[in-house]
A and B are shown apart, each in its own frame.
Chain A
């Protein structure tokens, strides 16, 4: 006998349905009409007059309105909106001081329980322009690459995003191709652990610093060493920084390199002739981090609790900032991302030659500087961070004295390990040993939110290129991708079997390496 399909299920007849009590439709709640005043978050000025709107105006509609008010209808920018409630909330650290508007004011602000806002207030809506491009969300681990025979200590992505370089405890550095997710070159030569790795902004040189105190230069295209190693430091290298592309003089086409070491000195090398240009001495203890600012100013943070500001021209000490009470562990500049990626931006345009690359890099730098001068943030073992005003002498403002910090960011319960500015300079993320990642406002240093979720010390944070996503790597072997609208975890990226020591965010890929000797993409 052929198999028979089972008889169809008996469906409810209309008669049975009509026996159910009719449910009265929910009474229509009249949507209140509110007065909204758009404020630009850059300078706090009002964008146009106060407008009467229904409360359930969606975010897209609000965006369109703001674009119209600013007169940018041809080139509309996406905006993020948030409210700052006027009534001071009781200072519980769980509540953030701002209410993000994701759907509409009615849903996010008026309907949430425990809100102090009513439809009769004038809502001041702060608008922040966001990057025009959008980075795809990272979902899963697409490749696990082994090859290192020792824990991976540092990783850096190249400015274009094509390659990633990792340094490991087995004294080698490896270059991986991000598009094909395969290893490209293995750079051997160091005699100790490779502690730091940095790309120059034209992707022509890769610099690695080791536990043996040597700095080695490599050409990424051929995988060969670019000359002899640079000797001079007596202890291990803690940090490397390349000169920004727009500051490189045209007669010496390679950017200079600054290397900071535990012996308390920072050496500036000429990468072409591989000689020392000058040495920045003055710190009394290990120099933990060095950064080259866009105004030809070098910042160094050290274990003697001071941050020193040097001139990139001749190596003279400009200023010493000593407000920290313990070692200065980490430092970030608001122009970090722009200086690192140089002439490459999201359009993927490749500059034809050095001159064009320089002008492009200068343009991008000037764009970021125009909205916010180059601010420095330093994180330390005393559980706090300091936000410092612009240190370059060329842009002195009479109101702020450069030696006094703009703000002191307290809140971490243990040492602050890593701090990073978002690429648009608007937000600061700080990772600490107290398992929390804290978000602060980039301009004023006000606390925004605390991202909790890790169960062990958070080692590193990295922002996506559009400043919309944040990934954090921690001792508890996971990476977490955070949703910056709700300040909660967006995606958990487990998979590493041991502590994750370093992470970097490229285009739409996250590169991470750790003690389990594998690189995950």
Chain B
């Protein structure tokens, strides 16, 4: 088509015809809208409705641009002195209800942690079955597939009797801990595994999966209790999958 146009040009009355056609568009559209029925009508009307909504919005925007309004300087409400800026102020009306809720939670022993729920991990994923014995028939040994923490001074049990093997390559000693308020991250040594949400067995093994609560050594942060004693351990919760990343990322529970 384009080639033909390039070679031969257009009709003589092309402009005239075009002008008249566009002039007729409005009438034609209106006639169509009134006459069509059935499925076609439904589609057309839905499309038209959306178009009209958009048009209304742009018209309104144009109106606002034209009207000259007194600029109130955009002075925001809720003025706060400098020491209260950047602090989340708790509204007084909510204070009582939150206090009551906190007390209820304490009684129900529900503690708020950054990751309250974690994905359940199947045993096949967690352990690899190790076949032992002269004919490799016995399969009571398991090797842990996830990162673990064993602690200083760890010595393996007699190898023949060891049921769970924790490979040295997957043992971790340090965690990258992020302070939620300061938004800075420190690399802190792990003191122990407090709780693994999957199962108490994993807690006792020291398996580190997402959602595990660790105890980390925070003496280098310099926090102090009200009595003047230096705080040296705090809990942190793991936020990544250490076996995939090779490192432990966690959030400090303040």
A binding-site residues for B, Cβ under 8 Å: 150-151, 153-154, 168-171, 191-193, 195-196, 236, 238-239, 262, 286, 288, 303, 305, 323-326, 329-330, 382-384, 408, 410-413, 417-418, 459, 501-502
Which B65-87 residues sit within 8 Å CB-CB of chain A? 73-76, 78-86
Nearest Cβ in chain B — how far from A462, in angstroms? 14
| Residues A192 and B81 in contact, CB atoms below 8 Å apart | no
Chain B residue nearest to A327 in the complex (CB): B182
Contacts of B74 in A (CB 8 A): 191
Once A171-B75, A191-B73, A323-B222 are accepted as A-B contacts, the answer to whether A410 and B228 lie under 8 Å apart by CB is: yes
Q: What's the dominant secondary structure at chain B's contact region?
A: loop
Closest to A195 in B: B82
Establish whether residues B224 and A170, one from each chain, have CB atoms under 8 Å apart when the complex forms: no
With A170-B75, A326-B182 known as contacts, the answer to whether A410 contacts B227 (CB < 8 A) is yes
User: Given the interface contacts A195-B81, A324-B222, does A408 sit within 8 Å of B228 by beta carbon?
Assistant: yes
Distance from A451 Cβ to chain B, minimum over Cβ atoms (Å): 16
CA distance A191 to B71 in the complex (A): 11
CA distance A501 to B78 in the complex (A): 13
Contact yes or no, B73 A153, CB < 8 A: no
Q: A417–B75 contact, CB under 8 A?
A: no
Minimum CB–CB distance from A149 to chain B (whole Å) comes to: 10
Question: A329 with B226: in contact, given A169-B75, A170-B75 (CB under 8 Å)?
Answer: no
**A383 and B226 contact, CB distance less than 8 A:** yes
In the complex, 20 of the A-B residue pairs with CB atoms within 8 angstroms, ordered by the A residue number, are A150-B75, A150-B79, A154-B82, A169-B78, A191-B73, A192-B76, A193-B75, A193-B79, A195-B82, A195-B85, A238-B82, A239-B82, A262-B85, A325-B222, A330-B83, A408-B228, A410-B224, A410-B225, A459-B81, A501-B81
Known: A171-B73, A384-B224, A412-B226. A417 touches B79 (CB 8 A): no
Q: How far is the CA of A222 from the CA of B2 in the complex (A)?
A: 78
The listed residue (A153, A262, A288, A410) touching B226 by CB distance below 8 A is A410
A191 contacts which chain B residues (CB < 8 A)? 73-75
Chain A residues with CB below 8 A from B73, complex form: 171, 191-192
Is B82 in contact with A382, judged by CB distance below 8 angstroms? Answer: no
- Min CB distance A234 to B, Å, is 15
B226 near A413: Cβ-Cβ < 8 Å: yes
A417 — which chain B residues lie within 8 A by C-beta?
83
Q: Pick the contact of B83 from A170, A413, A418 — CB < 8 Å?
A: A418
B118: interface (CB < 8 Å): no
Most buried by A among B78, B80, B82, B181: B82
Does residue B33 face the partner (Cβ distance < 8 Å to A)?
no
Q: Is B113 an interface position by the 8 A CB rule?
A: no
In whole angstroms, what is the CA distance A379 to B2 when docked?
78
Q: Which 10 A-B pairs have the closest CB atoms?
A: A169-B79, A410-B228, A325-B222, A153-B81, A193-B79, A325-B223, A501-B81, A151-B79, A238-B82, A195-B82
Is B221's beta carbon under 8 Å from chain A?
yes
Chain A residues contacting B83 (CB-CB under 8 Å) are 288, 329-330, 417-418, 459
In Å, the complex CA distance between A84 and B35 comes to 103
Contacts across chains A and B counted by CB atoms under 8 Å: 77
User: Which of chain B's residues have a CB closer than 8 A to the CB of A324?
Assistant: 222
- CA gap between A153 and B82 in the complex, in Å: 8
- Taking CB atoms, residues of chain A closer than 8 Å to B228 are 408, 410
Measured in the bound complex, the distance between the Cα atoms of B15 and A249 in whole Å is 82
Give chain A residues whose Cβ lies under 8 Å from the Cβ of B226. Answer: 383, 410-413
Question: What's the least CB distance linking A184 to chain B, in Å?
Answer: 22
Instruction: Convert B214-254 into 0s and 1s, putting 1 for each residue whose CB lies closer than 8 angstroms to a CB of A.
Output: 00000001111111100000000000000000000000000
* Contact between B85 and A325, CB atoms less than 8 A apart: no
**Cβ of A44 to closest chain B Cβ, rounded Å:** 24
Q: Are A408 and B81 in contact (CB under 8 A)?
A: no
A217 → B minimal CB distance (Å): 19
Determine if A383 and B224 form an interchain contact, defined as CB atoms under 8 angstroms apart.
Answer: yes
Q: Which residue of B lies closest to A289 (CB)?
A: B82
Contacts of A305 in B (CB 8 A): 182
Given contacts A169-B75, A170-B75, A410-B228, contact A502 B222 (CB under 8 A): no
**Which residues of chain B come closer than 8 Å to A303, judged between CB atoms?**
86
Instruction: Given A171-B73, A236-B85, check contact A382 B224 (CB 8 Å).
Output: yes
Q: How far, in angstroms, from A383 to B225 measured CA to CA in the complex?
A: 8
Known: A171-B73, A191-B73. A153 touches B223 (CB 8 A): no
Given contacts A151-B79, A153-B82, A417-B83, 8 further A-B contacts (CB under 8 A): A153-B79, A193-B76, A239-B82, A286-B86, A325-B223, A330-B83, A382-B222, A501-B81
Instruction: Give bound CA distance, A324 to B181, whole Å.
Output: 15
Closest to A517 in B: B79
Chain A proximity mask over B75-109: 1 for CB below 8 Å, otherwise 0: 11011111111100000000000000000000000
> Considering the chains assembled together, what is the distance between the CA atoms of A449 and B80 in angstroms?
30
CB A181 to nearest CB in B, in angstroms, measures 23
Could you say which of B78, B79, B224, B225 contacts A168, with CB atoms under 8 Å apart? Answer: B79
